[in-house]
Amino acid sequence: MIMEEKGKSRLRWGGVLAAITLWLIAAGIGAQGEKPADKSQERPDVLMIDTLKAFGDLEKPRVVFLHDLHTDALEKKGKDCSACHLREDKSGKIPGAENLEDAVKGIDKLSPKFKRLKDTARQDVMDVYHKFCIECHTDMSSAGDKAGPVTCGGCHQKNPVKSSRQEMGLDKSLHFRHIKANDKKCEKCHHEYNEKEKKLVYVKEKEADCRFCHKKETEEKRISMRLASHIACVDCHRQILAKKNPDEKAGPVKCAGCHDLIKQKAIEKVAEVPRLERKQPDTVLVKTSVTEVDSKTYKMPPVAYDHKAHEGYNDTCRVCHHASMDACSKCHTLSGSKDGQFVNLEKSMHLASSNKACIGCHLKKQETQKCAGCHSFITKTKMKETSCKACHVKVPGEPEITPKTDTAPLAKAVLDARQAIITTYPDEDIPEKVVIKDLVKQYEAAEFPHRKVIQTLVKNISENKLAGYFHTDQGMICQGCHHNSPISKKPPKCANCHGKPFDEKSLYAPGMTGAYHQQCMGCHEAMGLKKPAGCTGCHKER
């Protein structure tokens, strides 16, 4: 009897051990986690169909739909967009009519929805998708072609392929090409909603960015930017292409044509884009006071802004005009207003972290290689007070400025009087070579070609207007290395401030060795210099 009991107990323990082992294996497999995403599989035409969200929670995962894949497949079968997109009104006119206008009018607008004009009810929409998708796939696969899935999980995928879609927008060059193609007829695309007449009208010289009204999601009486841009852009392109006129070019109609990164970069760019004609100002005086009675009472002089020049420096208008084409101070008032999200005028101009603000954009320009040698060391978190006067310049003659004064000519006067400082002290005052021998131990003294370096830096500034205007003193360029000291023709030597390293009393300044190496090597690295390289590049071995 004792033998039987032992056998039973052994079996029990064996079972427990097996269970624990299996559990560990399962946990181990589970813990492996998801595989990292394969970037090469990403595509720009991925659409996630979640139309039923409007009717309640989704029961199954969203359906992944590859639009270009389908367009290409249907093209091979000789079908076009109307295979899936219904005509909005059935006028039945045949393309190829007498003139351009008639021809364009004759081809009907297509609905962006799939096989329907409206989303009516949950079951109806679901049925539309299921019926037509599965039907077409079944037909194609029975004909022997490669077709999409027909099972539930085939479309309602848990881990669909990721989208690499890039946002698309017009820049100056592309916009100009559209102006030319449409014969300067701005009304073809630009409109605004007239509250009184309750319809879309075109208002001359008030053309604006589509995104100012068309937001991310469709609102009650306003379609989303996505819908608006596809209806306006893709439809127009499609209509032109449908005419099959070899002399008429049109933009893309496939997803990848606009949204693929490589195709975007390949878009033809016009070299010299003529200035947009919208009666915009050439110069603007940004006022810093509300009363503006007497310019003598300004605490801070106003800023003269060269609007025309800045149009040339940027690719789009929306870089600065992010919500409307009005002047910044309309919404960003001196003390801030609700329209401007309570961002006051000072912040909207000075915010270092925003590309829309003057200073933010200028700081971004300092990151180019030619400037980064000095500017990568200058902290961007606090602006120097000396740089205020580069922009805030007193109006010559200090005239009276009232709310009615036309300030554009005053701004022009300031801008004309402004001069870019593109030189520094004369050569005799700049030491030609600086021999750094304070730390000679392992290596010989380093011979620093001081004057040559300064001359290169001055050349970089002279080619850059922004640098020229902001380097308001000819000694300012010395501050790149001779920092934390007042501007002077005889600035302090490095050893005057950098001595013993790891000094408790001056925690934040490196010692002499560290100072030289960090400043010199840091500048070389920021400016992308390949030489001098290695230790012996600067000082020979002993």
Partner 1 sequence: MSISRRRFLAWMGGAGAGTAALATGANAGSKHFDGYPGSFGVLHDITHCVGCRSCEEACNKVNELPPPDKPFKDLTVLEQNRRTTPKAHTVVNKYLKPGSEKPVFRKIQCNHCLEPACASACFVRAFQKNKEGAVVYDASVCVGCRYCMVACPFEIPTYEYDKVLAPRVMKCTMCAPRLAEGKLPGCVEACPKEALTFGKRDDLIKIARERIRKFPDRYINHIYGEKEMGGTSWLYLSGVAFKDIGMREDLGVVSAPELTSGALGSVPIIVGLWPVLLTGIYAISQRKDKAALEEKTQAIVEAVAKAKKDAEKKLADALAKAAKDKDAAVKKALADAAKAKKEGA
**Binding site residues, partner 1, CB under 8 A:** 379-381, 501-502, 504, 507-508, 510-511, 513-515, 517-518, 521, 535
Structure tokens at 50: 């979640």
Please give the Cα distance from 197 to 498 (Å, whole number): 73
Q: How far is the CB of 28 from partner 1 (least distance, A)?
A: 17
Least distance in angstroms from the C-beta of 495 to partner 1: 15
CB atoms within 10 A of CB 338: 7
Give the nearer residue to partner 1 in terms of CB position, either 437 or 517. 517
Nearer to partner 1, 176 or 516 (CB): 516
Residue for token pair 């420096």: 313
CB 380 to partner 1: min, Å:
8
Residue pair 402/293 in contact by the 8 Å Cβ criterion: yes
Query: Residue 379 and residue 515: Cα distance in Å, rounded?
Result: 16
**By C-beta, is 261 or 309 nearer to partner 1?**
261
Least CB distance from residue 439 to partner 1, whole Å? Answer: 9
Cα–Cα dist 74/403, whole Å: 63
Dist. CA 253–CA 232, nearest whole Å: 11
Question: 């013993």: which residue's tokens?
Answer: 500
Which pair of structure tokens corresponds to residue 265? Answer: 């970069």
CB 181: neighbour CB atoms within 10 A? 16
Question: ω before 301 within 30° of 0 (cis)?
Answer: no
Looking at this protein, which amino acid is placed at residue 101? Answer: E
Residue 524 Cβ vs partner 1, minimum distance, rounded to whole Å: 11
Q: Shortest Cβ distance from residue 382 to partner 1 (Å)?
A: 9
Who's near 281: CB < 8 A, 6+ residues apart?
Answer: 307, 408
CB of 501 to partner 1, least distance (A): 6
In the structure encoding, which two tokens stand for residue 346, read together? 């000072």
Residue 32 vs 502, nearer CB to partner 1 = 502
Distance CA 156, CA 149 (A): 10
Minimum distance, C-beta of residue 360 to partner 1, in the bound complex (Å): 13
- Dist. CA 213–CA 211, nearest whole Å: 5
Nearer to partner 1, 361 or 430 (CB): 361
Give 187 or 367: the residue with its C-beta nearer to partner 1.
367
The tokens for 513 are: 């060795």
When the beta carbons of 162 and 380 are compared against partner 1, the nearer one is: 380
Written as six digits, the tokens of 407 are 């300030």
Give me the count of residues in the chain. Answer: 542
Task: Give me the least distance between CB of 510 and partner 1, in Å please.
Answer: 5
- Which candidate, 110, 80, 81, 106, places its Cα nearest to that of 94? 106
Work out how close the CB of 517 gets to partner 1 at its nearest, in angstroms, rounded to a whole number: 4
383-397 as b/e, with b when 16 or more CB fall inside 10 Å? eeeeeeeebeeebee
**Of 112 and 514, CB closest to partner 1:** 514
As measured in angstroms, the least distance from the Cβ of 328 to partner 1 is: 26
Q: Facing residues of 303 across strands?
A: 286, 392
Tokens of 295: 């310019």
> Least distance to partner 1 from the beta carbon of 42, Å?
15
How many Å apart are CA 235 and CA 110, to the nearest integer? 7
| Between 126 and 509, CB nearer to partner 1 | 509
In whole angstroms, the minimum distance from the beta carbon of 444 to partner 1 comes to 15
CA distance 299 to 287: 11
For 58-107, the DSSP string reads: -SSPPEEEEHHHHHHHHHHTT--GGGTSPBSS---PPSS-SSHHHHHHHS
Q: Cα–Cα distance between 167 and 255 in angstroms, integer?
A: 11
Cα dihedral 272, 273, 279, 284, rounded to 10, equals: -60
For partner 1, which is the closer residue by CB, 439 or 453?
439
- Nearer to partner 1 by C-beta: 35 or 508? 508
Residue (41 or 381) nearer to partner 1, CB: 381
With respect to partner 1, which residue has the nearer C-beta, 228 or 521? Answer: 521
